[in-house]
Structure 1
C-alpha cells in the first residue's frame, strides 16, 4: 500500500465481525472508490482487497480463562499493531466488535489524536455495564446494529448512529428452503436438523460433543431425521474426531462453512449462543440455544449478567421465544427433547416465524451507506 492509500485501518477479531466488516468495506468503497484498508481481518474482508497483517483466528478466543491462556500472544499483537498504526497513521481506525481487544487499542490511538469508530455497541445493556466508560474513552463514534442502542449511549455521553443490522440485508425475508435443500442434496420433504456448535475452537470443544450426543438421541427417537453441521474448514479434523466418538459418523453431514445454506435448509437448529442465533432468527428458523464453557469463565460472566436472556433473539424480543439451555442445563437429553419439541409443534413454529419477520423488518436498513454516512461525518468533524 502506498502512503496515500492508507486511509482506513480495521480490526475484526472473529468470523461474525469479518462478515460485518466486509459489508462496511462495501460502503466505504462505494463512497471512496480508491479506498484501501489494512489491519486484521478474515476471508470476507480479504475478498474485498483488505490487507491483513495477522491471521484473524489469532484473536478468536472467548472466555476469561481461554483469553488468559493466549494473553501474551494477543497482547503482543496489540502492541505491535498500535505501534504500526501510530507510525503509518490512517485517517480512521475502525474496531469491529471484539471489544476486549479493540476498545483498549482504540483508546490508545484516540489519546494520541487519531479518530476512531467502534462498529457494534458492546452489550452494556446485557452485561458488563462498566464498558460504557471504556467505550466513551475509546470511540469518537459508535455504529449501532440495534435500534435501542443510540439513545442508551447518548445517555452515557457517547455519540452513536443506528445503521441497522447488516445481516438483515444479507438474509432474504423469505429464505429459499427448497433451493438450499437441493444445493445440499437434501430431500424436499425430509425433516432436517442443523447443528451449529460455534465458530471458535473453544466453543467446538465444549459444545460439539453434546450436540452430536443429542443428535444420536434424536436419531434413535426419529431415525428418518437428517442432520447437517456447517463447520469452519480449520476445525474439521477436530469435529470429525468428536463425531466419530459419538457414533454419528455418516449420519451427520459436515459442511465446509455454508452456515446460511444450512439455516435456510433446516426445519430446526440446535445452535451455540452468539451472532449465529440472530442469523437463525432472520432465516425464521425455530432453534434451541445452548452454551457451555469453562466453569470459572461461566461463573465470572454469569455474575455480571443484567438480563434474564443470553440469546439475541430472546433479548431483542424481550421474552423467552426460544429455549436456552446453558452450562449444566445443556445435557444431550435436554437438547434432544427441546429440539424435537419444535418439530412436534407446527403452530408454535408459525407464531415464532411471524415474530421473527417483524424483527427482520425492524433491523433492515441500508447498512453500508449509513455506515459510510456516519464515518464521513467523523472524518469531516
Structure 2
C-alpha cells in the first residue's frame, strides 16, 4: 500500500473516551495514508481530524443494564442502519471498533461475516468481569489492539490475534505535568489546594454521582476552608452540572468548565472521580484519587455478580492492589468520600508514594502506540 492509497476507514467510538482514543489513532493513520477517508460514529475530537460523523458518539453513551432499556430501540436502530450503510455503497476497507463492546462487537460480527476486515481497539475487560465476552470478541475481531501488556497472552489462549500497543495517552500526557501552567489555562489562581470533581461523561453517571460528590465537597470545605473545587463538564452536560451545583453552598470555591478534563487533572492536587477511563488518565497525571461509582440498584446487582477481581478502578486493577480507595454503590456516601479525600490531603507522604506508583505505571504503558497500531492495521489491509 502506498501513502497515496485512498483507503476508506469506518470507525465507531462510543462516548468521550472513545472519541479521544479514536482521534489519536486516526491522526496516526492519516499521517501514514494522507488520502485516507473515515466515517462512522464519533465525537468532536474525531471530527477535528476530518472524520465524517454520521452519528455523534454521545448517542452511544449509556451504561448498565436497566439504564439502557429506554435507549435500546434507538441503539439497535443506529447499529442496523450503520451496518446497512457500510455493507452498501460506502463499504470500507477496514472497520475499527473503539471500545463500546456492547455496540461494536455484534456490528463487527456482521461486517466480518461479509468480508470486511475488523479491528477492535481496546480489549474488553474480560479479565475483570463478563468473561463470556471473549467468545463474542473471537467472532467479531480479526485483530485486537490492546492497551495493557498482559492482554495479548490472555487473548492468545482463546485463539485471538492481538498486539499490545500501549496506551496512547501515556505518550500524550507528560511524565511530569505542569500544574501551574494548567491552572493558568483554566484561569485559576496558582496557590492553594485544588480538588477536581469528575462525575463521569454520561448523563446517567452525572445523575447518580454529581450530587454526592458535591455534598462531599461541602463537607470538605467545612473542614478545610482553603479548598477549592473544579468540575470539567463533559460535552452536553454543563447545564445539568451547573444546575446541580447551584443547590450546594460552594459559591466562588467551585468552578465548572466545559470540557478541559486534562487541564483539570493536571491542575488539581486530588480528584473525586467516577470509575472508568478517567481514573487511568488521573493516574497518568500522577494525581491521588478517590474512586466512586453508583448506579441503578438492579444494574448493580447484575453487574457485581460478574466481577472476577476485587478491584474496579483501572489504577488498582493494573497495580493489583488498592493503591487508591474505591467507594462503590451504597458505600459512596458524601461522608465517606470526604473522609477518604481528607486522608490524602493530610498525609503528604502517602500522596508522594502513590505518585511514585503512578510514574511506574506510566512508564509501563508508554509505547509508540500509533506506530504499533498502524503496523497491525496495515497487515490486515495488505493484499
- TM range, normalised to the smaller chain? over 0.9
| Aligned residue among 88, 91, 94 for 1:92 | 94
Which residue does 2:243 correspond to in 1? 241
2:38 aligns to what SS in structure 1? strand
Task: Return 5+ residue gaps in structure 1 as ranges.
Answer: none
1:288 aligns to what SS in structure 2? strand
What pairs up with 1:171-250 in 2 under 5 angstroms? 171-250=173-252
Normalised by the size of structure 2, how large is the TM-score? 0.97
Answer yes or no: is 1:23 the counterpart of 2:32.
no
What pairs up with 1:254-265 in 2 under 5 angstroms? 254-265=256-267
Q: Distance in 2 between matches of 1:139 and 1:275?
A: 22
Which residue does 1:252 correspond to in 2? 254
Q: Distance in 2 between matches of 1:77 and 1:263?
A: 34
Which residue does 2:157 correspond to in 1? 155
1:211–1:335 contact (8 Å) kept in structure 2: yes
TM-aligned CA deviation for residue 6 of structure 1 = 5.7
Which residue does 1:343 correspond to in 2? 345
Which residue does 2:73 correspond to in 1? 72
Return closer, same or farther for 1:153/1:323 CA change in 2, 3 Å cut-off. Answer: same
Deviates more, 1:243-252 or 1:55-64: 243-252
What pairs up with 1:299-378 in 2 under 5 angstroms? 299-378=301-380
1:159-201 CA deviation, whole Å, 9 max, x = no partner? 0000000110110000001111222233333011000001100
1:172 aligns to what SS in structure 2? coil
1:256-278 CA deviation, whole Å, 9 max, x = no partner? 11111111111100000000000
TM-aligned CA deviation for residue 233 of structure 1 = 4.2
1:271-292 CA deviation, whole Å, 9 max, x = no partner? 0000000000000000000000
1:118–1:141 contact (8 Å) kept in structure 2: yes
CA RMSD of superposed structures (Å): 1.1
TM-aligned CA deviation for residue 248 of structure 1 = 2.6
Deviates more, 1:226-235 or 1:267-276: 226-235
Q: Distance in 2 between matches of 1:77 and 1:187?
A: 45
Q: Distance in 2 between matches of 1:132 and 1:338?
A: 36
1:243–1:249 contact (8 Å) kept in structure 2: no
Length, aligned pairs only: 378
Answer yes or no: is 1:49 the counterpart of 2:42.
no
1:334 aligns to what SS in structure 2? helix
Q: Distance in 2 between matches of 1:370 and 1:378?
A: 13
| Aligned residue among 136, 139, 142 for 1:140 | 142
TM-aligned CA deviation for residue 89 of structure 1 = 1.4
1:105-143 CA deviation, whole Å, 9 max, x = no partner? 000111111110000000000000000000000000000
1:118–1:139 contact (8 Å) kept in structure 2: yes
What pairs up with 1:123-134 in 2 under 5 angstroms? 123-134=125-136
| Aligned residue among 280, 292, 295 for 2:294 | 292
2:238–2:257 contact (8 Å) kept in structure 1: no
2:16–2:234 contact (8 Å) kept in structure 1: no
TM-aligned CA deviation for residue 55 of structure 1 = 1.7
Q: Distance in 2 between matches of 1:117 and 1:191?
A: 43
Q: Distance in 1 between matches of 2:111 and 2:183?
A: 47
Which residue does 1:36 correspond to in 2? 37
Normalised by the size of structure 1, how large is the TM-score? 0.97
Q: Distance in 2 between matches of 1:368 and 1:278?
A: 19
Q: Distance in 2 between matches of 1:182 and 1:112?
A: 52
2:375 aligns to what SS in structure 1? helix
